[in-house]
A and B are shown apart, each in its own frame.
Chain A
Amino acid sequence: MAIDFGALGPEIALAVTALVVLAADLSLRGPAKQLVNPVAAAGTVVAIALTLRLWGDERSTFGGTFVIDSLALTFKLLFLGTLLAVLGISWRFFAEGRYFQGEYYFLIVTAFLGMVLMPSARDLLTLFVALETVSIPAFVMVGLRKRDLYSSEASLKFFLIGVLSVAIMLLGMSLVYGFTGTTSLTGIAEAIAATQTPGSETPLLLAAVLLIVVGFGFKVSAVPFHFWAPDTYAGAPMPVTAMLAVASKAAGFVGLTLVAFAAFAPLAGAWAPVLGVVALATMTVGNLGALQQRDVVRLLAYSSVAQAGYILLPFGVARGGTDALSLAVNQTAFRAVLLYLVAYAVMNIGAFAVVIGVARRSGLRATADYAGLGARSPLLGGAMTVFLLSLGGAPLTVGLWAKFAIVEALTVDVTAFGLVLAAGLVVNSVIAFFYYLRLIRGIWMEAPAEGAPVPQPGFNLSLVVVGLAALTVVLGVLPALVTDTTSVVTLALGR
């Protein structure tokens, strides 16, 4: 069996980049160490080029456990683009903060290697390894500020929750293997369809499926497994928080999509309502939590819990049947998830970039410190306004279309449960607007505090902020730029 190394191009590029970064860090001294950032960025650009070269291909290698298709490539591009943005907002932050820079860039490239591997995985084993390649570097990165008790505790909390969730997910995987005799996702779907009659499935199998779903629930910080998120996000270095809130969460959703729609599609009648209820609880808890926050990072952390709830909504209407309508429902649900993840990456990394820009040199991160930001720094104030409006789902931003896609997915086939979920989305969007607009009002209408410093974001960060703000608005006006791509991504998983 020959290995298709061409299909592995992006992964190989990232793995080589990670090692080069580590070696470069060893040979550089003092301030020159910050040059590992452009090295990592160059490696990412190579990986993007290799991904684009594969565009349109349908390949598989390692006995079908690693697949290149439209779904895998789209997510790979999303992750690699996110990596570039995260590197952009990391440079000054880590160069000025006396961090272990080389180690950080090595770890972040390794974590993204796991994410890039994830959408190609079509086997429980590959999925598990990809997930851990994301998680283990993330545990270290959260605790990177190792002389800071806050960062260490955040890291420990994240670690304990992380390994516990993996143990629970593995128990589910081992039971599923016991039932089906295969770890291939399509093999599992075929075995389940062949042995289980809808409506009277083996209870232990359903329990195993729910264990796996719970494991991913931790990763995407869904209620009731969200409590680690605000503490970990607040304690971690800010670029790491941006990575966790966006990329790590997106990786969790990719994994959830793969197991839910590929392996356990025949059992959707059992897991879909559970995920629907979890989605409702997640967005409500996230938004109500965000209302009370006085720290911007914690506010964005709770907001990202709420956003995870929105992304989970389409899973709630998934169908188990194989008729045309069920397939259409699942397909629309999947595309809504994909579109929302793209929009979420653009607007949330942007928001974190502004927070880093404001905190640079001053360390200010309370919501009160954003009073009069628009007057002090029109660039950061204006960009933050765009990102917050988009997170809320205002017109002329990409956030509106993302929410629109979710409502569309919920109403492909009008059901009572789908309407309840859609109503939950609308009510929660209103709650969310309250705290987003409160922050925006502070930025533009309140006078800055006496002696409030003028933020100096630096060149890279300004570039990322302007780029992402422009992307938020352009995609808000011309959503077809991204939906033309997402609407051809199909859920035909390895069949």
Chain B
Amino acid sequence: MTAIPIGAHLILAALIFTVGLVGVLIRRNLIVLFMCVELMLNAVNLTLVAASRIWGAADGQVFTFFIIVVAAAEVVVGLAILVNLFFRRGTVDVDVPSLLRS
């Protein structure tokens, strides 16, 4: 079995991160925005694991577990805010005119 070069992991991670970032910038549905942020975080996880393999150390993999846990906590809070806002406004579209447009 031939090993996949490290560079390939990093390029894939960079692509996923870009997809997530572009999604956050152009999509208007809040649930899709959350998914895009998750994509960005998972791209970071991939980078960390790949870097961990370069150095032959476990630090990066440990870091990944922390990111997964923290991302889960963030999503819990985020979805709660989203559901609450949906009950108030009846939509999850960020373009709907809001009170806070300054």
The chain A residues found within 8 Å of chain B, CB to CB, are 124-125, 128-129, 132, 136, 139-140, 143, 146-147, 149-150, 152-157, 159-160, 163-164, 166-168, 170-171, 173-175, 177-178, 181-183, 230-231, 234-235, 298
- Contact between chains at B81 and A143 (CB < 8 Å): yes
Partner of B102, one of A182, A183, A230: A230
Q: Which residues of B contact A174 (CB under 8 A)?
A: 44, 47-48, 51, 60, 63
- Contact between chains at B24 and A170 (CB < 8 Å): no
- Contact between chains at A177 and B48 (CB < 8 Å): yes
CB distance from A8 to the nearest CB of B (A): 18
Partner of A171, one of B17, B85, B102: B17
- The CA of A182 and the CA of B70, in the complex, are separated in Å by 21
Q: Which residues of A contact B32 (CB under 8 A)?
A: none
- Contact between chains at B100 and A231 (CB < 8 Å): yes
Q: Which residues of A contact B55 (CB under 8 A)?
A: 181
Interface presence of B84 (CB below 8 A): yes
Number of B interface residues, CB 8 Å?
41
Interface presence of B57 (CB below 8 A): yes
- Contact between chains at B100 and A235 (CB < 8 Å): yes
Q: Which residues of B contact A124 (CB under 8 A)?
A: 63
Q: Which residues of A contact B81 (CB under 8 A)?
A: 139-140, 143, 152, 155-156, 159
Q: Which residues of A contact B24 (CB under 8 A)?
A: 164
- Contact between chains at B70 and A154 (CB < 8 Å): no
- The CA of A182 and the CA of B41, in the complex, are separated in Å by 20
Partner of A149, one of B20, B62, B80, B88: B88
- Contact between chains at B70 and A128 (CB < 8 Å): yes
- The CA of A174 and the CA of B78, in the complex, are separated in Å by 24
- 8 Å CB contacts to A: which residues of B7-55? 10, 17, 20, 24, 30, 33, 37, 40-41, 43-44, 47-48, 50-52, 54-55
CB distance from A178 to the nearest CB of B (A): 3
Q: Which residues of A contact B89 (CB under 8 A)?
A: 149
B37 — nearest CB in chain A belongs to which residue? A163
- Contact between chains at B51 and A128 (CB < 8 Å): no
State the 9 A-B residue pairs at the shortest beta-carbon distance, nearest first. Answer: A178-B51, A167-B40, A181-B55, A174-B47, A231-B100, A170-B44, A174-B48, A152-B85, A149-B88
